[in-house]
Structure formats: structure tokens, C-alpha cells
Amino acid sequence: MIAEIITIGDEILIGQIVDTNSAWIGQQLNLNGIRVKQISSVSDDKEHIVKALKEAEGRADVILITGGLGPTKDDITKKTLADYFNVGLIEHLETVEMVRDFFAKRGKELTELNRKQAEVLENCRVILNHNGTAPGMWIEQNNKIYVSMPGVPFEMKAMVDDYVIPQLKKQFDLPFIYHKTVLTNGIGESFLAERIEKWEDSLVANEIKLAYLPSPGMVKLRLTTYGKNEADLKAKVEKAIEQLTPIISEYIYGYEEYGKEPDQLEKLVADLLLSKKKTLSLAESCTGGYISHLITSIAGSSAFYQGGVVPYHNQFKHNLLGVSNDVFEKHGAVSEECVKAMALGVKEKFHSDYSIAVSGIAGPTGGSDDKPVGTVWIAVANDSGVVAERFQFGTDRNRNIRMTALASLNKLRKMIIEE
């Protein structure tokens, strides 16, 4: 089965926003054995949208459309689709109630403009929007399927996950595609490639495709295989991962599989702490609260997270965490001695079972010959003591923050597991 994606909106064409929606949709379709033939981004212009629809129809069985469903005057997708299919718009009562409720919860009344959001094409099945006001629409005509969704990513994603993919699976006999992704932290792409070269060569005979997906602080290795029998495909990939594991075991922290939440370092740490009924506190200098943000992005983190401090100057490392002024004078704030004292100090302050402390030079300035930009000390503590390690990251401030956070969480994860 072939699909096409049409994203509507001038903001994409003038480069004001990067179209991440199509990449995400492409990924989801691909994972489910649906090939995406073309992605087209077109302007908020009726004639142009119609032309794109016609062209897509000539190539694809399913046409997914995002954007242009807002309540404002520049959003014309709905009107254009109605004309295209030569149907009228009707008010969808369930959606009216959802929109009314949406605004009521925010202490606001339903306006005429908002009520218009509940209008849908006569010939559609409505895809309810549980995260916003514009409903999605599923239209079947001339043996083709058209799906219109809002451009707001989290509204669109929920519709694809909860409705579009399950519906397509129900209506079509899709081939099996099996992917599993190995997640690594602590080794760069080219070093990884060298280390697993022989293993990688062996994949060809098994018809497994390998992709390297690098991002700051991690490299993902995605294994893909196609076929008729799901169990066979899965067994083949699992065997390949079994052969890979001893070669790079110290770098693997988790996996990503379709239909499962991908492993995330913060989530792995959270699950370990929850299962052991242990608590955590954080003392962050160079990461400035980013590790705390990752941890508290997890719903339910208050069950194990006690809290943290961001002592952005030495005096507060001293006042709040009891780091002795001697340490700053003899070793500086970016040192083994400092992060160890911070980790012990915050652990005591928050009565936690574990703690992480980081101190480093995030950049772009502030480096020296022996501590260049990207130098970071990380300490993790438990009831038996504290250990620290020096890392050397790059020159980009925000990449350094991200890489420090992931390395810290991985260090804590290993500490908890190895106990």
C-alpha cells in the first residue's frame, strides 16, 4: 500500500517552521508496512491544495493531510476539501460538546468562531480530537482514503496513533515490517561503526538492514527486516542483537520497539528507583536544571524524586550543599572533589537514597588549557559512598548540557544495577 502526505501552510514554505509532522507520520506508516511515496508541502491556497490532492491521488491509496484546520481566516483546508468532494459541511454534535467542554474547563465560553471548528464534511467519519478543538476527518471516495488532521503535532500524533494506524491495519492486509533499535550511550558513531563492522557485514545474509541514528549523547542502531511471518522476523532480529550485545555491552542501555514505550534513560532510572522504593536528589551546576527537568517530565516522578538545587555560583554550593571553600581554592568548582561534595551534600539535604551532582564548563566561553570547554565532572552517590568521573564533551553549550544529563543518568543507572 502506498501513502502520501500533504502538509498545508505558508509557514512551512517560507521556512518559518520545519515540517516535523511528515517525518513523524512517515516513520509511523513505515513501521506498519505502508510505503510513503511523496511528501508535499503546499501553500494555504485553494487551487494549489486541489492540485496537490489530484496529483497524490494518481500515486497513492491513502492521502494524509495536515494543517489548515484552525478557526482563523487563513485556514482553508476544510472549505477546500468540501468543494473538492462536492459535499457540504455539517455540525458534529459530539465535537460541539467537546469544544464547549474544552473552553469551559479553561473558564471560557464557546464563541461563534470556535463553534465553527465543530463543522465537518458530510461524507466523513469524524476523528475526535481529545487534545484540541479541530476534529480530524476520514473520507473514503473513489477507492482512496483521505485523512485530514490538524497541524498541531500532539493533536495530530494522537489521531494517527489512536485512529489512523489501527484503522488502516483493519482495512488492509499489510506486510510485516519488524524493527528493533538498540540504544547506546558513551560511544560516537564512527567508533561504534568500526567496532561492529564484522557483525554489520553479517546482517546482509540475514536480510537485516541497519541504520545509524546519531543524536547528542546517543547513537541508535535500528535493525529492520520485512517479510510474511512476524515470528520469524522477530527471531532473526533478536538473534542478531544477541550477537551484537557482547561486542558493545557497556554502551547499550536500552531498546526501542514498535508498540512499546522506547527506553529513555530518565525513565529507566525512574523505574529502577520505583521498583526498589528508593529516592533521588540532584545538584546541578553546568546542566542548570536540565536533569531535574528530564526527571520531572515523567508523570509520577514525585514518588521518588525529592528535589534538587541549581547552585550556579560557588557561594551557593557552599551555603546550600556545604562544599568547603577549600575545595574551590585548591581544585576549583569543576573538579572531582567539588562534585563529590555536592553529591553528598544534596543527598543529605534531601534525605535521598541516591544523588547526582554535575559541574562543568558548558561553554561557549569559560574554558582553560587544562579544563577546556566541554570538561564535565559527574558524581553519583548512594549509601555506601560516592564515585566521580571526568568527561570531555564538545564546544556547543546545549549539546554539552544534553550529553552531561544523559551520561549522568546512565552512570546512576549502572550504579543502581550493579549494587
Residues between 339 and 358 that touch its own copies (CB under 8 A): 349-350
372 interacts with its own copies by CB under 8 A: yes
Distance of closest approach, residue 418 Cβ to its own copies, in angstroms: 25
Q: DSSP character for 206?
A: G
296 interacts with its own copies by CB under 8 A: yes
301 interacts with its own copies by CB under 8 A: yes
* Cα Rg, the chain, nearest whole Å: 26
222 interacts with its own copies by CB under 8 A: yes
Of the candidate spans 87-95, 232-240, 247-255, 289-297, the one that interacts with its own copies by CB under 8 A turns out to be: 289-297
324 interacts with its own copies by CB under 8 A: no
394 interacts with its own copies by CB under 8 A: yes
DSSP string, 252-280: EEEEEETTSPPP-HHHHHHHHHHHHT--E
212 interacts with its own copies by CB under 8 A: yes
CB count in 10 Å sphere of residue 132: 19
14 interacts with its own copies by CB under 8 A: yes
CA dist 370 and 342 (Å) reads 22
The torsion angle over the Cα atoms of residues 373, 411, 328 and 361, rounded to 10 degrees, is 10
Question: How many residues contact its own copies, by CB under 8 A?
Answer: 111
226 interacts with its own copies by CB under 8 A: no
Distance of closest approach, residue 372 Cβ to its own copies, in angstroms: 7
Burial of 131: CB neighbours in 10 Å, binned 0-12, 13-18, 19+: middle
Length of the chain: 419
Of 123 and 306, nearer to its own copies (C-beta) is: 306
Contact call for residues 376 and 404 (beta carbons, < 8 A): yes
57 interacts with its own copies by CB under 8 A: no
Closest CA to 346 of 390, 391, 308, 316: 308
* Binder among 50, 55, 125, 157 for its own copies (CB under 8 A): 55
Contact call for residues 335 and 285 (beta carbons, < 8 A): no
Give φ, ψ of 123 to 5 degrees: -95, 15
DSSP string, 400-413: HHHHHHHHHHHHHH
Of 224 and 264, nearer to its own copies (C-beta) is: 224
Of the candidate spans 78-86, 268-276, 297-305, 336-344, the one that interacts with its own copies by CB under 8 A turns out to be: 297-305
- Interface of this chain with its own copies, residues 175 to 194, rule: CB under 8 A: 179, 181, 188-191, 193-194
* Binder among 206, 229, 245, 302 for its own copies (CB under 8 A): 302
Q: Regarding beta strands 2-8 and 62-66, do their DSSP bridges make them parallel or antiparallel, or are they unpaired? A: parallel
Contact call for residues 4 and 40 (beta carbons, < 8 A): yes
72 interacts with its own copies by CB under 8 A: yes
Of 43 and 167, nearer to its own copies (C-beta) is: 43
309 interacts with its own copies by CB under 8 A: yes
40 interacts with its own copies by CB under 8 A: yes
114 interacts with its own copies by CB under 8 A: yes
* Binder among 50, 87, 274, 310 for its own copies (CB under 8 A): 310
Distance of closest approach, residue 120 Cβ to its own copies, in angstroms: 17
- Interface of this chain with its own copies, residues 229 to 248, rule: CB under 8 A: none
CB count in 10 Å sphere of residue 127: 22
Of the candidate spans 137-145, 237-245, 306-314, 410-418, the one that interacts with its own copies by CB under 8 A turns out to be: 306-314
Distances in Å between the Cα of 150 and the Cα atoms of 7, 26, 41, 83, 143 are 10, 16, 14, 19, 23
User: In sequence order, which residues have a C-beta less than 8 Å from that of residue 363 and are 6 or more positions away?
Assistant: 373, 374, 395, 396, 397, 400
Of the candidate spans 160-168, 237-245, 263-271, 282-290, the one that interacts with its own copies by CB under 8 A turns out to be: 282-290
88 interacts with its own copies by CB under 8 A: no
